């Protein structure tokens, strides 16, 4: 039994055939029958199953691509789009802002704190700075048109980036500033992912209830000379953003 032939086309209906096809696909996506990342059959197969011309099928698919429900990947086929943002930050040392830019996702940044602090001892240890020193504490909230998606706490060594507390991080990116303005060679990072219950302050910023599950990411970033430059705690709204890795076996 084919899952596609069940979409009956009514050639006598006042609705155009391509519109009937796109509506059929829309309802399959809405019902979860075709989940995110489902790859549609090839166009010739699909056109054959539906008993329509490839031109009619293409017109239906184009509508759905324009609506953002499907996307075409060159050489791989047509896929159902995910409804969550899926940055590859577990797979590459890119930042959320870089991933958003690559995917064409518009985000806004609210800077909640940007000040010099005496770091807590565990953070001082991981950054290899003496207790009683001074590091930049940068707290930012990133939002899309669906609302807040991530709350970021970054701690940055100011001996490696003097004056960084004066940068306007509403528009500037942190890695961009470290690499561009300070000429630092960011080389590697250790990122750890776990599920946590949102504490009250995190929950409030992400529009979640206290205790809701949040994706927690902890990171230490190293320069090419192996010195740690940045430590971060990031809380992610899993309903709006899912960390995704496309992995190769060999």
Give contact residues for a second copy (rule: CB under 8 A): 1-3, 32-35, 37-39, 76, 86, 90-93, 121-122, 124-126, 128, 130-132, 186-197, 212-216, 220, 226, 228, 236, 238, 242-250
Is the separation of the CB atoms in 133 and 121 below 8 Å? no
Separation CA 205–CA 209 (nearest Å): 10
Please say which residue, 59 or 207, places its beta carbon nearer to a second copy.
207
Q: Which residue, 48, 25, 51, 47, is CA-closest to 38?
A: 25
Closest distance to a second copy from the beta carbon of 86 (Å)? 7
Closest distance to a second copy from the beta carbon of 34 (Å)? 5
Ramachandran angles phi, psi of 65, nearest 5°: -65, -40
Closest distance to a second copy from the beta carbon of 211 (Å)? 8
Please say which residue, 18 or 240, places its beta carbon nearer to a second copy.
240
Structure tokens at 11: 């050639």
CA distances from 138 to 54, 78, 173 (A): 53, 41, 11
Q: Which residue, 44, 28, 45, 42, is CA-closest to 80?
A: 28
Closest distance to a second copy from the beta carbon of 132 (Å)? 6
Closest distance to a second copy from the beta carbon of 241 (Å)? 8
Collect all residues with Cβ–Cβ distance below 8 Å to 81 and sequence separation of at least 6. Answer: 36, 68, 69, 70, 71
**Helices of type H across 51-188:** 54-66, 96-102, 121-127, 174-176
Closest distance to a second copy from the beta carbon of 196 (Å)? 6
Instruction: Return the axis-axis angle of helices 17-31 and 54-66, rounded to nearest 10°.
Output: 50
Please say which residue, 22 or 228, places its beta carbon nearer to a second copy.
228
Please say which residue, 182 or 216, places its beta carbon nearer to a second copy.
216
Please say which residue, 45 or 168, places its beta carbon nearer to a second copy.
45
Please say which residue, 113 or 128, places its beta carbon nearer to a second copy.
128
């Amino acid at each position: 039994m084919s899952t596609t032939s069940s979409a009956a086309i009514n050639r006598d209906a006042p609705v155009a055939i391509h519109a009937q096809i796109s509506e059929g696909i829309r309802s399959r996506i809405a019902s979860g029958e075709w989940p995110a990342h489902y790859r549609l059959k090839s166009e010739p197969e699909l056109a054959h199953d539906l008993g329509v011309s490839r031109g009619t099928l293409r017109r239906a698919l184009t509508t759905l691509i324009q609506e953002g429900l499907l996307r075409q990947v060159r050489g791989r086929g047509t896929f159902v789009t995910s409804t969550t943002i899926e940055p590859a930050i577990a797979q590459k040392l890119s930042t959320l802002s870089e991933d958003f830019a690559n995917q064409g996702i518009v985000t806004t940044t609210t800077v909640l704190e940007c000040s010099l602090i005496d770091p807590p001892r565990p953070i001082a240890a991981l950054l290899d700075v003496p207790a009683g020193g001074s590091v930049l504490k940068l707290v930012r909230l990133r939002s899309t048109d669906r609302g807040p998606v991530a709350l970021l706490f970054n701690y940055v060594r100011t001996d490696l980036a003097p004056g960084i507390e004066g940068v306007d991080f509403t528009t500037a990116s942190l890695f961009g500033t470290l690499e561009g303005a300070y000429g630092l060679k960011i080389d590697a990072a250790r990122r750890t992912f776990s599920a946590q219950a949102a504490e009250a302050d995190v929950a409030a910023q992400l529009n979640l209830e206290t205790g809701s599950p949040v994706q927690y990411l902890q990171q230490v970033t190293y320069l090419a000379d192996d010195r740690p430059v940045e430590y971060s705690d990031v809380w992610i709204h899993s309903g709006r953003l899912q960390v995704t890795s496309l992995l190769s076996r060999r």
